[in-house]
Amino acid sequence: MANFEIIQKVTGASYYYRLVRLLDGYIWNNVLGVWAATVAWADSMITVTESNASGDYPLVIPTTMNGSGDANLTVYTLVAGNKTDAIAYEQQVRIGGIFGF
């Protein structure tokens, strides 16, 4: 959780996140709303919007997300919008089911 503190209370930053399912390595395609084996980087970017210039950046999960299981959630600092962007935060999360989002 220490890395998450870096994201909080920094106003005016630009972040996005990507999800990769651990079971099969599928990536969430945010444009088509499906899990896929190959996804263009730009199509997998889920924008993180600052809440009321507060420095807080809530991670909003797409309403179209389906399935369940564990995934790597990686938050990037938006610079180029590709794999060269720096990782700001990374965590394994549970999707779906009783304890998932």
Cα three-residue angle 45-48-50, rounded to 5 degrees: 160
Tell me the three-class secondary structure of 17-73, residue by residue.
EEEEECCCCCEEECCCCEEECCCCHHHHCEEECCCCCCCCCCCCCCCCCCCCEEEEE
Confidence at 100, pLDDT banded by 50, 70, 90: low
Domains of the chain: 2-95 (2.60.40)
**What 3-state class would DSSP assign to 11?**
coil
Using CA atoms, how far apart are residues 57 and 36, in angstroms rounded to an integer? Answer: 26
Q: What is the pLDDT of residue 51?
A: 83
> Which residue has better confidence, 16 or 98?
16
Q: What is the pLDDT of residue 101?
A: 52
Using CA atoms, how far apart are residues 73 and 18, in angstroms rounded to an integer? Answer: 6
pLDDT in tens, 48-98: 988 887 888 888 888 888 888 899 999 999 999 999 999 998 999 888 765
* CA within 13 Å, CB half, 58: 7
